[in-house]
Structure 1
Amino acid sequence: MTVGAVKKKGNIPEELLVSKGRIAGTSMFFFNQEPTLVGLSYLAKPSKMVLVLSTCCEGTGITYPIQKPEIIEYYNKAKDGAETFDQLCSSMSTTWKTNRRPMCIFYGLIKLSASTIMPSILQYLQIW
């Protein structure tokens, strides 16, 4: 199953973007003609709307203790890894200001490798 957030720009029906008159915590599901793509417009707070697309077939369930759609719960679990990776990358910067594209790519590769190896190094140092 693939889940991803959608920006509010582009070809999105107006009914999904309107939050006026909707109660916080409500969900609107939308489907394409084949049962392969499920969309969700979830109003978390009166001022915060989340648009999510998913490739699951049966994603219209709602978890009852928290009243959130299953797609949102899965998306929150899946995005933790990406947020952790972004946090590690931002904590160790190896870049310098440069306009040369090869240097930017090289610095990006160093940042990627440093953030990938850092948890292993920290675990190794805890053993000693």
Structure 2
Amino acid sequence: MTKGLETSGNNVTTDTFFTSFDLAKEMEKKNLTLLGTIRKNKPELPQELVTTRGRDVYSTKFGYQDKTMLASYCPRKRKIVTLLLTLHEISDSEKKKPQMIIDYNKRMSGVDTIDKLVQTYIVKRQTKRWPVTVFYNMIHASVLNLHYMVSPKRRLENKRGYK
């Protein structure tokens, strides 16, 4: 998916489904940075970063390995957000939210918007086979694209000469 971006120094933002230490190493080889939430059940994660016991609200814990950084942020009681990234710092905001979470939220808002739009007309079924999951996601993306293509606003643009 990153073909053509090698050695560009761009950032790739991923969701929990794709984020892993192996992906971070591959991105590093291609001179790309990675930012993404990571699931708490990954065996590579230290227990101190995924436990909520004894954590204050708005507290952040960090872990480093080579050029990869893990951040564990506690936005509210009994909730942990864990991110894997390459280079960021803490913001000066009131909630002392790490800059990586601000960047992640800014970049992933498009994906979340698409997920919310597709959720209304979902055809996805529970399955353990990943090709079926990919197929369902392709159907959802196609439906969303079709909706955009036939929406009244889009038809107005076409009438103005943008065919």
* TM-score for both structures, normalised by structure 1: 0.73
| Count of residues paired in the alignment | 119
Aligned partner letter, 2:89? T
Aligned partner letter, 1:47? R
> 1:40 Cα shift?
0.2
Q: What does the per-residue CA deviation read over 1:20-75, in whole Å, with 9 as the maximum and x for residues that have no partner? A: 22211010111112x3x2210101112111111113x2x12223244211011111
Q: Does 1:81 align with 2:110?
A: yes
- Could you say if the C-alpha distance between residues 94 and 23 of structure 1 is closer, same or farther in structure 2, counting changes exceeding 3 Å? closer
Corresponding position of 1:117 = 146
> 1:115 Cα shift?
0.7
Describe the SS at the equivalent of 1:92.
Answer: coil
5+ long unaligned stretches in structure 1: 97-101
Aligned partner letter, 1:22? R
| Residues 58, 75 of structure 2: 8 Å contact kept | yes
Matches within 5 A, 1:39-118: 39-55=70-86, 57=87, 59-93=88-122, 109-118=138-147
Corresponding position of 1:16 = 49
Corresponding position of 2:39 = 7
* TM-score for both structures, normalised by structure 2: 0.60
| Residues 29, 60 of structure 1: 8 Å contact kept | no
RMSD: 2.9
Aligned partner letter, 2:154? Y
- Could you say if the C-alpha distance between residues 52 and 113 of structure 1 is closer, same or farther in structure 2, counting changes exceeding 3 Å? same
Q: Relative contact order (alpha carbons < 8 A, sep ≥ 6): 1 or 2 greater? A: 1
5+ long unaligned stretches in structure 2: 1-10, 12-33, 126-130
